[in-house]
């Protein structure tokens, strides 16, 4: 085994004492900091290919060195043409996996263009490999296009491919890594994101100064000597020197402020153009910073779980007046990594044809006989996953946010995991918005218009005999189906039954369409308060309140 050991400044070979768990270092092959080193036997000699970080002006992705020997244990003789690829000569020079032999020809795998870990795979056919000569040409490397785009397993980058022929000689097997999260670890991403936020703050202050909305002159009284008792740590000369430096700094800042202050007249046509351009830059930088801070997700490739897969079904309820929402909804969310299929609960009007919905996963339209909010939780034997994401068709959020919520649900599959928290308390109970819950620092409900749940548990509870009167109340008010489900979960458990995950951003498209049932907020809240009173009489109180920022990953801040 020849693991990466470039930080030790050498290339080491390990021998198995008890394969595959126990190893011992056998010898140092080369005293050079090599990365992505591979050994292959071809046309007689053994060949060692790697990138030498000790070479002058080394660029990790753009240099390749070769050694040869009659034994894999060495001694290794450098190739006459080292460095084979020099800076700027070729992309893909750094190895991206073991070479392989096909039809008598040697093929080398290289890392494509990108950062330290590469963003793609390139394959080269080695035409000449001799101790004093090396020549290769790139050949097409084709991998089926992932329909989910950047949310696919290798949507962001991939940098390693290993293909080997099976003993039967008929088939080949390949192993390839992939990453759906942009490059950079969490610390790097947070640092970059907050730096961009700092740029936004500086631009806001600069814009405020340029249009005269912010006074950039600092008062000189800030640097006047204080009259309190002299500190024992500084003598008079030291204090005077510090005050002098402070006054000089404030004076220079005030001069700079006077130079930029009021330089743009935002009432003129030209001034308005300047302001609009800066505002657009602010929006773009803010969005990029938010992406770095909240980017990445908990998505995993689907794996078997008790005969089912670790994906979820996205379920939405809609009708004919919201068809334009639905088309955008399906096209966007079908590309999210863990979405297996989409179920559209059609409550009213002529349902769309399947061809009208652009999706990369199967879409099933379930036409209901009655226009009822209870249809959201109808028992459905055709749902193949344990997890269901109930999501209103007018809510748009990022796939990363969806994946984070799914990751939290996998940690707590017995709970409702949602994105819109509410706190119901008092006597009688009163329904309030999210702002109230945040002011109190806690919540005890999550709206099921954007929530993960175990449909086998949730839907059965909703259609149980105990919930029959509650369902009748939902139909009479045409409201409160999510409030009822929260009470049913609370009635079945003594522990916390809900958990909140904060999305980076979410847009309520109903504000643009005007077809939301809750567009009259006060009336909507009044009806929900009535539901709270009735449900609390039938099902008791809600469970103990949960607090914001109680998760270790801060996804509920």
Residue 367: phi and psi, rounded to 5, are: -80, 125
Concerning whether 482 is annotated as a catalytic residue, the answer is yes
CA pair distance 11, 292, nearest whole angstrom: 36
| Contact between residue 351 and residue 318 where contact means Cβ atoms under 8 Å apart | no
Element (H, E) at 285: helix 269-294
Virtual torsion, Cα 391, 393, 395, 397, nearest 10 deg? 70
Catalytic residue (choose from 341, 392, 401, 482): 482
Q: Quick one: three-class SS letters along 18-75?
A: ECCCEEEEEEEEECCCEEEEEEEECCCCEEEEEEECCCCCCCCCCCEEEEEECCCCCC
Q: Indicate the pairing of strand 363-367 with strand 450-454.
A: unpaired
- DSSP state for residue 96 in the 8-state scheme: -
- Provide the sign of the torsion angle of the four alpha carbons 332, 335, 338, 340, taken in this order: positive
Q: What are phi and psi of 484, to 5 degrees?
A: -60, -45
In 347-399, where do the E strands start and end?
A: 363-367, 387-391, 395-397
Going by C-beta distance under 8 Å and a sequence separation of 6 or more, which residues neighbour residue 491? Answer: 466, 539, 540
Q: In whole angstroms, how far apart are CA 430 and each of 340, 435, 487?
A: 38, 14, 14
CA separation for the pair 340, 312 (Å, rounded)? 6
Query: Which of these, 392, 409, 145, lies nearest to 298 by C-alpha position?
Result: 409
Q: Tell me if 16 sits within 8 A of 22, measured CB to CB.
A: yes
Q: Residue 16 phi/psi, 5° resolution? A: -75, 125
Report the distance separating Cα 338 and Cα 7, nearest Å: 37
Kindly report the backbone phi and psi dihedral angles of residue 15, in degrees, each rounded to the nearest multiple of 5, phi listed first: -115, 140
- Distances, alpha carbon 383 to alpha carbons 29, 457, 474, 537, in Å: 56, 13, 24, 33
Q: Is 177 helix (H, G, I), strand (E, B) or coil?
A: coil
Catalytically annotated residues = 482
């Amino acid at each position: 085994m020849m693991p990466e050991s470039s930080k030790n400044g050498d290339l080491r070979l390990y021998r198995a004492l008890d394969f595959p768990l126990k190893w011992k270092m056998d010898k140092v092959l080369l005293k050079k900091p090599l990365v992505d080193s591979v050994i292959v036997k071809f046309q007689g000699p053994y060949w060692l290919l790697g990138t030498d970080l000790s070479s002058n002006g080394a660029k990790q992705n753009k240099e390749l060195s070769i050694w040869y020997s009659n034994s894999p244990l060495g001694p290794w003789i450098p190739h006459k043409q080292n460095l084979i690829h020099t800076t700027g000569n070729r992309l893909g020079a750094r190895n991206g996996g073991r070479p392989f032999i096909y039809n008598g020809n040697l093929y080398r795998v290289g890392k494509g263009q990108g950062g330290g870990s590469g963003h793609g795979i390139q394959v080269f056919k080695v035409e000449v490999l001799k101790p004093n000569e090396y020549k290769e040409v790139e050949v097409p490397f084709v991998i089926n296009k992932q329909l989910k785009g950047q949310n696919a397993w290798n949507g962001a980058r991939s940098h390693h491919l290993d293909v080997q022929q099976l003993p039967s000689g008929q088939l080949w097997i390949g192993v390839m890594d992939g990453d759906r999260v942009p490059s950079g670890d969490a610390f790097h991403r947070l640092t970059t994101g907050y730096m961009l936020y700092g740029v936004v703050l500086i631009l806001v202050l600069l814009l405020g100064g340029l249009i005269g909305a912010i006074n950039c002159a600092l008062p000189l009284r800030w640097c006047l000597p204080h009259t309190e008792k002299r500190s024992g740590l500084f003598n008079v000369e030291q204090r005077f020197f510090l005050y002098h430096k402070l006054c000089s700094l404030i004076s220079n800042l005030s001069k700079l402020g006077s130079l930029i202050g009021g330089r743009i007249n935002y009432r003129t046509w030209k001034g308005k153009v300047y302001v609009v351009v800066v505002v657009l830059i602010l929006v773009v930088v803010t969005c990029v910073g938010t992406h770095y801070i909240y980017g990445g997700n908990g998505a995993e490739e689907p794996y078997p779980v008790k005969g089912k897969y670790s994906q979820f079904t996205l379920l939405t309820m809609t009708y004919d007046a919201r068809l334009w929402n639905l088309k955008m909804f399906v096209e966007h969310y079908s590309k999210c990594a863990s979405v297996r299929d989409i179920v559209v609960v059609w409550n009213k009007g002529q349902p769309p044809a399947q061809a009208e919905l652009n999706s990369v996963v199967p879409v099933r339209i379930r036409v209901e006989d009655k226009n009822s909010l209870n249809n959201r939780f109808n028992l459905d034997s055709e749902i193949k996953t344990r997890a269901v994401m109930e999501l209103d068709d007018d809510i748009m959020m990022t796939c990363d946010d969806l994946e984070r919520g799914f990751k939290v649900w996998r940690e707590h599959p017995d709970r409702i995991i949602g994105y819109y928290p509410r706190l119901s308390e008092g006597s009688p109970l009163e329904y309030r918005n999210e702002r109230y819950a945040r002011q109190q620092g806690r919540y005890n409900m999550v709206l099921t218009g954007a929530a993960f749940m175990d449909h086998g548990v949730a839907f059965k509870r909703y259609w149980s005999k105990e919930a029959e009167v509650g369902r009748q109340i939902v139909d009479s008010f045409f409201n409160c189906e999510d409030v009822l489900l929260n009470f049913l979960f609370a009635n079945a458990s003594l522990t916390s039954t809900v958990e909140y995950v904060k999305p980076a951003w979410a847009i309520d498209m109903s504000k643009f369409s005007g077809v939301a049932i809750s567009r009259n907020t006060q009336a909507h809240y009044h009806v929900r308060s009535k539901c709270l009173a009735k449900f609390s009489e039938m099902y008791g109180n809600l469970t103990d309140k949960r607090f914001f920022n109680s998760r270790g990953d801060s996804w509920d801040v």
